[in-house]
Structure 1
Amino acid sequence: MGKGDKKTKRGKINRGTFGARRPRIKKRPSIENKLDISKKAKIK
């Protein structure tokens, strides 16, 4: 169980693949995208 093992996290890192042991980290939408700058209150 190590770098050559397909089923371990270390083996997935070594091969550069993803799976149940090493899922992809999904990018969260940034705060800037959530708050729409164009819809700000207009200053009079």
Structure 2
Amino acid sequence: MIFHIFKYQLRRLKEHYEFLISSNVIASVNITYSIAESIIADKKI
């Protein structure tokens, strides 16, 4: 029974970390896109 609870907690933790990692990846992509956009905007001026 205790092992089952531990396994469940581990799975939830894994899902939580996967969510955090995917959020960080999306944030990094957005930041990179913003930087690229501002560089392009600077070159147009």
Larger Rg: 1
> TM class by shorter-chain length?
0.3 to 0.5
Q: Compare relative contact order (CA 8 Å, sep 6+) and give the higher one, 1 or 2.
A: 1
Question: Which has a greater percent of helix?
Answer: 2
TM-score, normalised to structure 1, is: 0.40
TM-score, normalised to structure 2, is: 0.39
